[in-house]
Structure 1
Amino acid sequence: MPAAIATAYDWYTSPLLRARETAARLGAPGARVAPELVEMAWGIWEGRRLEDLRREQPDRMALMEAQGLDFRPPEGESPRDVQRRLKPWLAAIGTHGRNVVAVTHKGVIRAIYAAATGWPMLGKPPENLAWDATHLFRVDETGAVAVHHLNLKLV
């Protein structure tokens, strides 16, 4: 990414190494670490694939996934918890008056998307979110989010 573009934004990243490395590769090695951007906590399921859990525990997973925003892995956090965690940070950046890039994770992006669209995280999202793309949201001073543009390819 050209330096002029990288410096036109305030850059934030999750504290997880993979996000910090991605920010550096995108031209922002000095991105500020924002703990609020850390991936959703999966508790005792950390590192497990959802597909495997569904295969191993189909009835339990069906019941849990039917909770939508309140789906909580054992000893983990729900998407609604992630939204609560993000709200003060979003409100703070909503008062900046500057464009922000947040290098974060799928669970965080889905939680923001759900807040922006009203999707209760039941069934498929209203729009497909490509994970090799960037997603633009507008944020106001209350932390309310709205979709601006989804699935912008990085390369």
Structure 2
Amino acid sequence: MEIVFIRHGRTEINKKGCYLGAIDDELSFEGKNEIKNLNNYLKEIEFDAVYVSPLKRAKQTIELLEKSYSIDERLREINFGIFDGLHYREIEKKYPIEYSWWTRDYINYKIPEGESLSELFGRVEDFIKDVSYKHKRVLAVTHGGVIRCAMSLVFGSKEHFYKFQVNHGTVNIISVDNGYMYIKALNSFGNLSEVLV
């Protein structure tokens, strides 16, 4: 089976290079155009189910893709807690102790008022296992952190998280075959019918 992950279009906070987790930011003008362009390649592709993060930027993305969908909380971006909406230089200056702990153990450190990357991995792994038993092809509109987790899980390691760059408004595909996972596409936005056979 295939899981087609789409990262939502760009937002104003994304453009500033800030961490964006639980803040409910809207798509920017550029972000809307990214998704409208992507829709040209997706509109002819059939999906057994469409799942979407509950955050506004993801819901705006799926509405531009004109597909019926179900909300899935597991696709929500990591909650950055006190770091949310800040640039990493601001985090380092405003929260030096928390920043130090976070950089020492970015996987397990639970950000105050937020969550740990390990918790996000748990949500994403649960989603993948769940849908892989139910469907042949799923569309999941979500966030960069979620997609990085999915790609890392292909390699069976949380350590790969920062080795992936996931661009806004792109398609990222993993296949699951009897529990074995592999990557079919990363940051794609062209002719997807050749990848999704």
Q: Same fold (TM over 0.5)?
A: yes
1:13 to 32, 52, 56: 52
8 A contact 1:80–1:111 mirrored in 2:
no
8 A contact 1:68–1:120 mirrored in 2:
no
1:61 and 2:96 aligned? no
SS in structure 2 at match of 1:4: coil
- TM-score, length-scaled by structure 2: 0.64
Between Structure 1 and Structure 2, how many residues are aligned?
150
Over the aligned positions, Cα root-mean-square deviation in angstroms equals 2.7
Percent sequence identity is 23
Distance 1:154 1:79, change over 3 A: farther
For residues 86 and 141 of structure 1, the distance between their equivalents in structure 2, rounded to whole angstroms, comes to 18
SS in structure 2 at match of 1:68: coil
8 A contact 1:130–1:151 mirrored in 2:
yes
2:175 to 129, 138, 154: 138
Identify the structure with bigger relative contact order (alpha carbons < 8 Å, sequence gap 6+).
Answer: 2
Distance 1:150 1:27, change over 3 A: same
Q: Structure 1, residues 111-142: CA drift from partner, whole Å, max 9, x if none?
A: 222222325157x41x4332342211123566
Stretches of structure 2 that go unaligned for 5 or more consecutive residues are: 1-38, 192-197
1:108 and 2:146 aligned? yes
Matches within 5 A, 1:41-52: 41-52=79-90
1:153 and 2:193 aligned? no
Query: 1:4 matched to which residue of 2?
Result: 44
- TM-score, length-scaled by structure 1: 0.78
For residues 89 and 113 of structure 2, the distance between their equivalents in structure 1, rounded to whole angstroms, comes to 19
Shift of 1:92: 1.5
